[in-house]
């Protein structure tokens, strides 16, 4: 079985696959100094809860956008699962797709993994909108290559910034308002962020399609993707497992 690890800025996800079949996914907050022992104690209990024996793990693959986590995630795989993990971004890990940007090493591992997973599932000419700590737009061209994209502050990050920078603005949760025009401070903030991001999605996707010169299929992923998709027809597919499927595809590319 394969242990696929995706370490994002906010959360780290550990998923166990038997071939293409996802058996379980476990999530913890991302914390750079967390040791391999701490990861193991937490994983051991959850895997036992889900009925996945430790000895069933035969290989691992890691994608991380937080460099401080990599040492202990590698150590976790080596010491407790007795395997040498593939690491997205290292020279010995082939992606199977081209990267058409000036500085390849600056592209986040998650964005490359999403490109692999999306092209495999949906074909070429894609825009991937990932609602994470940052909201990213990534373009997959006619060859299935990563062609660049955009990065904007994430939805929750924007709400947090409003609360912290303006003395009278409260801390509110993201929600889809029933109407655009808010009638109190909380509803005004929710409406501004929600419908503002919906308009951002629609506008950016339209401009990218015009610039590329062909219609683009829009894939949304990340925790807020189902909520944001409720407000717009610009999103064609919501795919919460995109990153993990991309990791499995990369693993197969390297260790068939």
Q: Which residue has the tokens 């081209």?
A: 98
For residue 158, how many C-alpha atoms fall within 13 Å in the half-sphere facing its CB? 18
> For 214-239, how does the pLDDT look when each residue is reduced to its tens digit (9 = 90+)?
999 999 999 899 999 999 999 999 99
CB of 177 closer than 8 Å to CB of 191: yes
Binding-site annotation, residues: 6-13, 108-111, 130, 133, 185
pLDDT of residue 248: 96
> For 57-99, how does the pLDDT look when each residue is reduced to its tens digit (9 = 90+)?
999 999 999 999 999 999 999 999 999 999 999 999 999 899 9
> Which domains, and CATH codes, for the chain?
2-87 (3.30.420.40), 104-246 (3.30.420.40)
pLDDT higher than 90, residue 162: no
**Annotated active-site positions, please?**
110
Binding-site annotation, residues for ATP: 6-13, 133
Q: In terms of Cα–Cα distance, which of 132, 147, 117 is closest to 216? A: 147
CB of 20 closer than 8 Å to CB of 79: no
Q: In terms of Cα–Cα distance, which of 148, 138, 103, 146 is closest to 219? A: 138
Cα(256)–Cα(254) distance, integer angstroms: 6
pLDDT of residue 63: 97
> For 1-43, how does the pLDDT look when each residue is reduced to its tens digit (9 = 90+)?
999 999 999 999 999 999 999 999 999 999 999 999 999 999 9
pLDDT of residue 165: 87
pTM score, whole prediction: 0.90
> For 91-122, how does the pLDDT look when each residue is reduced to its tens digit (9 = 90+)?
999 998 999 988 888 899 999 999 999 999 99
Binding-site annotation, residues for substrate: 108-111, 185
Cα(137)–Cα(155) distance, integer angstroms: 14
């Amino acid at each position: 079985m394969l242990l696929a690890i995706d370490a994002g800025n906010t959360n780290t996800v550990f998923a166990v696959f038997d071939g293409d079949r996802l058996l379980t996914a476990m999530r913890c907050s991302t914390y750079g100094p967390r040791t391999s022992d701490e990861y193991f104690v937490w994983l051991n209990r959850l895997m036992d809860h889900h009925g996945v024996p430790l000895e069933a793990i035969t290989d691992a693959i890691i994608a991380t956008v937080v460099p401080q986590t990599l040492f202990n995630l590698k150590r976790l795989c080596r010491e407790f699962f007795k395997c040498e993990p593939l690491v997205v971004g290292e020279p010995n890990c082939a992606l199977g797709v081209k990267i058409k940007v000036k500085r390849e090493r600056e592209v986040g591992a998650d964005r490359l993994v999403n490109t692999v997973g999306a092209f495999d599932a949906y074909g070429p000419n894609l825009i991937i909108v990932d609602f994470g700590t940052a909201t990213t737009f990534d373009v997959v061209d006619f060859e299935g290559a990563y062609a660049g994209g955009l990065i904007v502050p994430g939805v929750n990050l924007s709400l947090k910034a409003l609360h912290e920078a303006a003395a009278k603005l409260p801390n509110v949760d993201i929600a889809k308002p029933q109407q655009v025009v808010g009638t109190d401070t909380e509803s005004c903030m929710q409406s501004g962020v929600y419908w503002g991001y919906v308009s951002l999605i629609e506008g950016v996707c339209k401009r990218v399609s015009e610039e590329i010169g062909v219609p683009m299929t829009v894939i949304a992923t990340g925790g807020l993707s189902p909520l944001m998709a409720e407000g717009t027809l610009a999103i064609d597919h919501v795919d919460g497992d995109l990153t993990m499927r991309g990791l499995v595809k990369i693993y197969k590319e390297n260790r068939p």
